[in-house]
Amino acid sequence: MLSIYSNAGNTLLRLPLFSRLLLSSTNSISNLNIAAISYRGYWLSTGSPSEYGLQKDAIATYEFVRKLFPKNPLYLYGHSLGGAVALYLASQPSIQKDLSGIIIENTFTSIKDMVITIYPQNWLPYKYLVRLPFVLWNKWENSRVIQEITTPMLFLSSRNDEIIPREQMLKLYELAGKSEKKVWVDFDKALHMNTHIFKEYLESIKKFIIETK
C-alpha cells in the first residue's frame, strides 16, 4: 500500500494528474492512495493563506493521513507553492524519518528570489525593500530548508516555465546535498502548469516510487 500526500493548492486543477496516477497504479504501483488538500483560502477552503497557516495545515493533514494509513509508505508531492509546503513538512525531523520520498515540481528557491524575478531591476523600491527583514511576511526559504533533508527527492522541471525560472529548481537540486537519492527530470516543451500531460511525467513518478518504496 502506498500513499501520496499532495499540497495541491487548488485541488480541482490537479484532479487530471491524480486520476492518471490512480488509473496507472494497478500496473506498477500497488494500491495507491492520494490525499490532496486545498490550502486555506484556496478553492473551497475558508480562511486566508499565509506561510504560518499553510505550515499548520500541512502538519494537520500529515497527522490525519497517518491515522488513516499508519503503515503505508508515504510520499509528499508539491507543485510550485506546494513544493515549498512539502519541503517544510519534510524538514520536520519526526516527519522526515517517516517519509519514503518527496516529489517537487517547478518550485522556487524563496519568495525574495521570486520578487526580484517578477519585478524588473529598474523598479528600485522592490529591489531594495525586499532585502529588509520586516517587509516580506511570507518567506518560504526553500533554499535553506532543503539542505537539511535526507529523504530521496524527485525534481520535475519544465524548461519553458513562464512563472518560476528553471534556474531556481536547478539551485534547489544542487542544494539537496544530504538527500540519499536525488533524481532530476527535464520536460523540454512543458510550461508551469502542464507538465503532467507528458508521457514521461507519470513514468518518472512511478519509477521513483518503485525505486524508493
Residues with a catalytic annotation lie at 80, 161, 192
CA 43, CA 157: separation in Å to the nearest integer?
25
| CB distance 80 to 164 below 8 Å | yes
What is the identity of the amino acid at 211?
A: E
CA 49, CA 39: separation in Å to the nearest integer?
7
Q: Provide the 8-state DSSP code for 199.
A: H
Q: What are 24's three cell numbers?
A: 496507472
Q: Tell how many helices (H) and how many strands (E) occur in the chain.
A: 9, 6
| CB distance 143 to 111 below 8 Å | no
Q: What are phi and psi of 43, to 5 degrees?
A: 50, -115
Burial of 177 (0-12, 13-18, 19+ CB in 10 A): exposed
Q: What are phi and psi of 60, to 5 degrees?
A: -60, -40
